[in-house]
């Protein structure tokens, strides 16, 4: 079943739960993530990044397939465009039936981020689509880790008020694309942001954050937890394991299938952890 991001996040926050948001790169990710949501009975955010759309040449194939699978599933699924910097891609996601988009203007000067985000919110809300934005850049996507960047609570409150976004990604110590789970979060800042900002808070770059640290972050006030790299590591690790065991294997289903199932199992574990 398709759901809106704002509905899922507000409900989860009221119940004191977090929500897992995981990236779909190949179709196997969509199948594995949806299977985990079905198995656990918990909502899931299936997110396709601008980079993944670029990889596929377009959002059309992977976006449509993910949306159709989400619609057909009994699980509650948000289909979300992740880290969009191109407003044309946002328009395309809305046309394809995505229920949510993240407009990422975090590398723009704050005023420009505010103005473009406000325009995106106006257009998306008209179409019934929720919007996440980012203030204070969570680095690491370009390989440059900047875990020292922080979002100011007063700036965040003003940004949400000016733009009307439904969720806000904040910089509180994490960094994208970490393959070691060693990041530490600024829990005092998370609590201050939660008190200052009316909408649910989003943690990006959560692959580098240990389980216990994520749980503390949820208690302090985070709601949406974005994890991509860690699940890719699980997926790829399983492909390596299967291919390493049989040099003559050529059927792609023989290694992608087990990898999809490994991704499903780890996702189910994470969904339960975040909801606990
Ligand atoms: O938007 C996606 C997430 O922030 C993923 O970050 O790959 O470091 O887990 P990650
Ligand atoms: Zn991110």
pLDDT tens digits, one per residue of 84-115: 999 999 999 999 999 999 999 999 999 999 99
How is 40-73 classified by DSSP, letter by letter? HT--EEEEEEHHHHHHTTSSHHHHHHHHHHHHHS
pLDDT tens digits, one per residue of 54-89: 999 999 999 999 999 999 999 999 999 999 999 999
Distance 142 CA to ligand 2 centre (A): 12
Residue 176, marked binder = yes
Count of the separate structural domains present in the chain: 1
- The response to whether residue 205 sits with its C-beta less than 6 Å from ligand 1 reads yes
Q: How confident is the model at residue 143 (pLDDT cuts 50, 70, 90)?
A: low
- CATH code assigned at 81: 3.20.20.70
Query: Is the four-CA dihedral 24, 27, 32, 35 of positive or negative sign?
Result: positive
Q: How confident is the model at residue 148 (pLDDT cuts 50, 70, 90)?
A: confident
Residue 53's pLDDT is: 98
Mutate to test the pocket of ligand 1, among 170, 179, 180, 229 (most ligand atoms within 8 A of CB): 229
Residue 155, marked binder = no
- The response to whether residue 186 sits with its C-beta less than 6 Å from ligand 1 reads no
- Report d(CA 122, CA 124) in Å as an integer: 6
pLDDT tens digits, one per residue of 182-201: 999 999 999 999 999 999 99
Return the ligand 1 atom nearest residue 175 CA. 8
Mutate to test the pocket of ligand 1, among 20, 144, 169, 205 (most ligand atoms within 8 A of CB): 205
- The response to whether residue 141 sits with its C-beta less than 6 Å from ligand 1 reads no
- Report d(CA 210, CA 203) in Å as an integer: 13
Write out the catalytic residue numbers. Answer: 82
153 Rama sector, left if φ>0, alpha if ψ -120 to 50, beta otherwise: alpha
pTM given for the model: 0.97
Query: Is the four-CA dihedral 168, 173, 178, 183 of positive or negative sign?
Result: negative
Residue whose CA lies nearest to ligand 1 atom number 4: 204
Residue 186's pLDDT is: 97
Distance 204 CA to ligand 2 centre (A): 4
Give the domain range for residue 247. 5-275
Q: Quick one: tokens of 77?
A: 């699924």
Residue 136's pLDDT is: 87
- 136 and 206 Cβ atoms separated by less than 8 Å: no
Residue 134: its H or E element? strand 130-135
């Amino acid at each position: 079943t398709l759901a809106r991001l704002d509905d899922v996040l507000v409900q989860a926050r009221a119940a004191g739960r977090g929500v897992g948001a995981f990236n779909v790169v190949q179709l196997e990710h969509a199948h594995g993530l949806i299977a985990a949501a079905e198995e656990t009975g918990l909502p899931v955010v299936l997110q396709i990044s601008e980079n993944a759309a670029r990889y596929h040449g377009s959002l059309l194939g992977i976006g449509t397939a993910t949306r159709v699978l989400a619609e057909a599933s009994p699980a509650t699924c948000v289909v979300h465009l992740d880290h969009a910097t191109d407003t044309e891609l946002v328009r395309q996601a809305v046309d394809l039936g995505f229920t949510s988009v993240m407009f990422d203007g975090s590398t723009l000067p704050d005023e420009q981020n505010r103005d473009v985000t406000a325009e995106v919110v106006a257009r998306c809300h008209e179409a019934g689509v929720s919007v996440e934005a980012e203030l204070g850049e969570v680095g690491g996507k370009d390989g440059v880790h900047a875990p020292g960047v922080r979002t100011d609570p007063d700036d965040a409150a003003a940004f949400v008020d000016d733009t009307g976004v439904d969720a806000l990604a904040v910089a509180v110590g994490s960094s994208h694309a970490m393959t070691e789970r060693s990041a530490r979060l600024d829990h005092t800042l998370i609590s201050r942001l939660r008190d200052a900002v009316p909408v649910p808070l989003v943690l990006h770059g959560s692959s580098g954050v240990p389980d216990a640290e994520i749980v503390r972050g949820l208690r302090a006030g985070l709601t949406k937890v974005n994890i991509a790299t860690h699940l890719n590591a699980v997926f790829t690790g399983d492909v390596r394991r299967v291919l390493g065991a049989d040099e003559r294997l050529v059927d792609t289903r023989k290694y992608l299938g087990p990898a999809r199932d490994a991704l499903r199992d780890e996702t189910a574990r994470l969904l339960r952890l975040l909801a606990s």
